[in-house]
Structure 1
Amino acid sequence: MTKVELVFVPLAAAGHIVSAVELAKLLVDRDERVSVTVIPMKMPFSNISNYTHPVQSSRIRFIDLPSDELDPSVDPDKYFASMIENSKHNIKETVSKLLPKSSESSSHEDSPKLGGLVLDMFCTAMIDVANEFGVPTYIFFASGAASLGLLFYMQDLHDEQGKDPTEFENSDAELAVPSLVSPVPASSLPSSFFQKGLLQVFLTMSRKFRETKGIIINTFSELEPYAVKSLADGKIPPVYPVGPILNLKSNGQDGLNNNSSKFKEIMQWLDDQPPSSVVFLCFGSMGSFDVEQVKEIASALENSGHRFLWSLRKPPPQDTMESPTDYSDPRDALPDGFLDRTADVGRVIGWAPQVDVLAHPSVGGFVSHCGWNSLLESIRFGVPIAAWPIYAEQQLNAFQLVVELGLGVEIKLGYRMDQDHKPPIVNAGDIERGIRSLMDPNDERIKLLNEMSKYSKEALEDGGSSYSTIGRLIQEITDNI
């Protein structure tokens, strides 16, 4: 029996490493020949132990690379590219140690053979390492098929049609993106495409994707049938939709251990609420608002009259790479008397155990930044979403959710930073309307969402679409040994 070792190089950011580790679990659980070594690319201020310590498989191991000291004078985008490039040598040394020595290969027939590198979408510079060892590279794309299609479309516009995507900023243009049925307004494009430096990063990424053996996507065919089909045009490497890849177990991955007093307090409060009565507000690991916007959200919640659980986080210092933190006292940002007036219907918390909250029967709606993992979790538990995208590809995710799939409602689809990197203020009236629509029990989206939730659960079961795709992926990898 030929054993195969895969080397995963995920980005150590919550939206990337969680699903990468879960993919590793799926592969080793599926085939006893497969083992995985995970070498995370550490981000400044990231704590990967929150996401790696629950792994208990003897065929998954983690190797820490030396941490790169952050130079505060370096532009964050340039720092990231430099970090990946500077890690090549360490990755190469680490991979070389995984290979059996020539003297060992004859006496250890069962030693695993290197089957390839599975790289985070932002770690394409590591393709050079795989080439040096003569093994294939697979990309793990932590977002959806529509976003992948947009990435290739932007490269085609730039490289083949000679157009500059940055010119779409503040325009009324609608783009015919092949991975979406509906024309996409420029306001729903990720902000990175409007910044020349970042645009070049994504164009390079797209070009490098084409050099790989395949692209593994965290989606399932029933959710994005049109997008998945559009990617099977023979112009790019094979695409493997293997999702929804989610960590549904509460092991402290969200920063709250399920034995902690904060966790128990949150869950006890939810236990005391009627079914589907609570609107949950949470904006991801990097999501936060200034005090002015916080007051608008508070006003909307109070006026809506709905029960709520609000994960409120303090913005990091400006122009830093730090993450948001919890307020020592949320009253510092909230309107005077808000907590007292809403004490019977709401709770304001810090970092939230999102999976546990979404899984709770009292939660009936989710005001979300539309990070891809959050969308998949919400769909999995059949919780409707009000879309309020903030950064990365979230504008496109929100457009897809609301317009393309009809599974969510809008709070502000075109929300993005202005030229001074300041977010616009969304007024309380717009937020309240979104919440009321979200919590409408007769909304037609509920039926669609419940159906998609069913598909989500079935996709990774024996005979499901993603289950079959994972089988094909493993076969592809082992056949190339």
Structure 2
Amino acid sequence: MEANKENVSIVVVPFPAQGHLNQLLHLSIVLSSHGLTVYYAALATHIHQAISRLEGWHASTIDLIRFHELPIPPFASPAPNPNSSLFFPSHLEPLFKAFEDVRPHLANLLRSLSISSRRVVVISDNVISFAASEAAALPNCEPYTFRCVPPSVSLPREGQDSPAGALLRSLGLKAPSTDDWISEEMLAFFRSRSESKPEYSGMLINTCRLIEGEFLDFFMKQQPDFIGKKVFAIGPVNPTVITDQTTKPRHHCLDWLDKQPPASVLYVSFGSNTSISDDQIQQLAIGLLNSEQKFIWVLREADRGDAFTELRENGRQNKLPAGFMGRIHGKGIVIGDWAPQLEILSHKSIACFMSHCGWNSCMESISMGVPMLTWPMHSDQPWNSVLVSDYLKVGVIVRDWKRRKEVLFAVEIEKVIKEVMVGDKGEEIKRRARELREAVRQAVADGGSSHTELISFINHITR
């Protein structure tokens, strides 16, 4: 088997957004740790972004991966508009479209590897169909898709009268509207690419049977993308236990957390590519103050297409109420740059996580046993909010998707924070979150469902 591994090359191609870059870098580390040769193919700036934000692994693990830079012509990298009526990060659309230009360079890499390798395995984000097309064109290449979102996210799109709708009703779940999940322009763009999508040799998913087994069983019988296909639920791909073996300097917020009582701090972050509006910053700030709970709030501008375009002052903190920073002394801190989320969530002082519900954040929070206060913004997040809160029951919805156009007032925010942080309802949610953490950690351990499916995938590609 080892000889077979040496003759197999894996090329991982992430979609160029933080949540995707991160998950596929975690996957690359997992695969390389099993003795496989892994190439992580992305833009130079995104390789830098992914590595600089990586957490939870021993510093030496990154050395096992072969990073391959894909050149791209210059593209626009406009600033985000936090006060837009649509939360989808439309400012990243120039990057998403320009990314198509890496196709010939990826094709060259695959052709080169196909000459020297017995088999080339291409694992690409499921929205990058051209990677699979280039792989399918070579006789010893196999294309696999990697889903960075939960498969159950497709259920709300099926309609109430469909088998999917019947399944949701049987589980007592009400699917959120799919309106405004994504901009119309990007929806058309993704649809046009998926129409020419080739057949994949299999599918990897950053989930586990424990979390979505009921939905996976349904899809294996009902959905063409799953029926008769090789499906490997291998998540979470992020580390589920954090060690102090990184060479990176320790973030100052961790020193502050060390001084706080266990399970006493609320962590607030809305992800890397979304900014809340000026008015909402004001209301959230007041809600945090009035809740009288300790907190860490990541308040930064959303990533641009090139996250390193320029160093600029963080204008989001200028929208805080007058005197806010003085009033939170000793009670909370506001972070204006990138925060080590996985390390924060694993800290004993963290009690809850107010989140936009990106799937990466959901899996990290579940892995660390931290209950969520859900505040979805776009894409898969409205469904993830329901999945976490109403199905897994390890969270509480702060802003329902029906109210996405509204500014949520401080009094409502304060009420939900207290409900979970210090209320009786919060105790049950915290207990369930701890139980789910232990179950997920068992799933990725030797003999667990996710570990077994990972080994099955490795055995399949090295057959």
TM-score bucket of the superposed structures, by smaller chain:
0.7 to 0.9
* Deviation per residue, 1:98-152 (Å, 9 max, x gap): 233xxxxxxxxxx64223211112211222201211222100111112125557x
Match of 1:246 among 238, 244, 264: 238
SS at structure 1 position matched to 2:388: helix
Compared CA separation, residues 341 and 86, structure 1 to 2 (3 A):
closer
Q: Is the 8 A contact 2:280 2:407 kept in 1?
A: yes
Match of 2:148 among 142, 153, 171: 142
C-alpha separation between the residues in 1 aligned to 2:14 and 2:200? 16
What residue in structure 2 maps to residue 170 of structure 1?
none
What residue in structure 2 maps to residue 447 of structure 1?
431
| 1:29 pairs with 2:33 | yes
SS at structure 1 position matched to 2:49: coil
Higher helix share: 2
Q: Is the 8 A contact 1:5 1:114 kept in 2?
A: yes
Compared CA separation, residues 386 and 78, structure 1 to 2 (3 A):
closer
What residue in structure 2 maps to residue 95 of structure 1?
110
Compared CA separation, residues 78 and 125, structure 1 to 2 (3 A):
farther
Q: Is the 8 A contact 1:461 1:467 kept in 2?
A: yes
| 1:378 pairs with 2:362 | no
C-alpha separation between the residues in 2 aligned to 1:20 and 1:315? 21
* Deviation per residue, 1:389-429 (Å, 9 max, x gap): 11221111101111122110011130676xxxxx5311112
Structure 1 residue 362, shift from structure 2 partner: 1.0
Structure 1 residue 327, shift from structure 2 partner: 5.2
Between stretches 354-363 and 323-332, larger displacement belongs to: 323-332
Q: Is the 8 A contact 1:288 1:315 kept in 2?
A: yes
Between stretches 325-334 and 470-479, larger displacement belongs to: 325-334
| 1:389 pairs with 2:376 | yes
SS at structure 2 position matched to 1:425: coil
Q: How does 1:29-178 map to 2 (within 5 A)?
A: 29-30=33-34, 32=35, 34-41=36-43, 47-51=49-53, 54=59, 56=61, 59-71=64-76, 79-80=94-95, 82-100=97-115, 112-134=117-139, 135-147=141-153, 153=158, 176=165
Structure 2 gaps of 5+ residues are: 79-89
What residue in structure 2 maps to residue 333 of structure 1?
319
* Deviation per residue, 1:266-302 (Å, 9 max, x gap): 1221111111111111111113223211110111011
Structure 1 residue 184, shift from structure 2 partner: 3.7
Q: Percent identity among equivalent residues?
A: 25
What residue in structure 1 maps to residue 84 of structure 2?
none
* Deviation per residue, 1:187-220 (Å, 9 max, x gap): 3x36246x54433344456656672111100011
Amino acid at match of 1:29: S
Count of residues in correspondence between the two structures: 433
Q: How does 1:232-381 map to 2 (within 5 A)?
A: 232-233=220-221, 235-236=224-225, 237-247=229-239, 258-259=248-249, 263=251, 265-314=252-301, 321=305, 328=314, 332-350=318-336, 351-381=338-368
Compared CA separation, residues 200 and 448, structure 1 to 2 (3 A):
same
Q: Is the 8 A contact 2:144 2:203 kept in 1?
A: yes
C-alpha separation between the residues in 2 aligned to 1:91 and 1:434? 48
Amino acid at match of 1:219: T
Q: Is the 8 A contact 1:220 1:241 kept in 2?
A: yes
Amino acid at match of 2:98: M
Compared CA separation, residues 231 and 210, structure 1 to 2 (3 A):
farther
Structure 1 residue 478, shift from structure 2 partner: 2.2
Q: Is the 8 A contact 2:355 2:361 kept in 1?
A: yes
Compared CA separation, residues 177 and 359, structure 1 to 2 (3 A):
farther
What residue in structure 2 maps to residue 17 of structure 1?
21
SS at structure 1 position matched to 2:289: helix
Structure 1 gaps of 5+ residues are: 101-110, 162-173, 418-422
C-alpha separation between the residues in 2 aligned to 1:89 and 1:204? 19
Q: Is the 8 A contact 1:8 1:117 kept in 2?
A: yes
Structure 1 residue 313, shift from structure 2 partner: 1.4
Compared CA separation, residues 352 and 252, structure 1 to 2 (3 A):
farther
Structure 1 residue 40, shift from structure 2 partner: 1.4
| 1:431 pairs with 2:431 | no
C-alpha separation between the residues in 1 aligned to 2:379 and 2:44? 19
* Deviation per residue, 1:433-463 (Å, 9 max, x gap): 2211221364322222111101111111110
What residue in structure 2 maps to residue 227 of structure 1?
215
C-alpha separation between the residues in 1 aligned to 2:434 and 2:393? 12
C-alpha separation between the residues in 2 aligned to 1:315 and 1:51? 15
What residue in structure 2 maps to residue 456 of structure 1?
440
Structure 1 residue 467, shift from structure 2 partner: 0.6
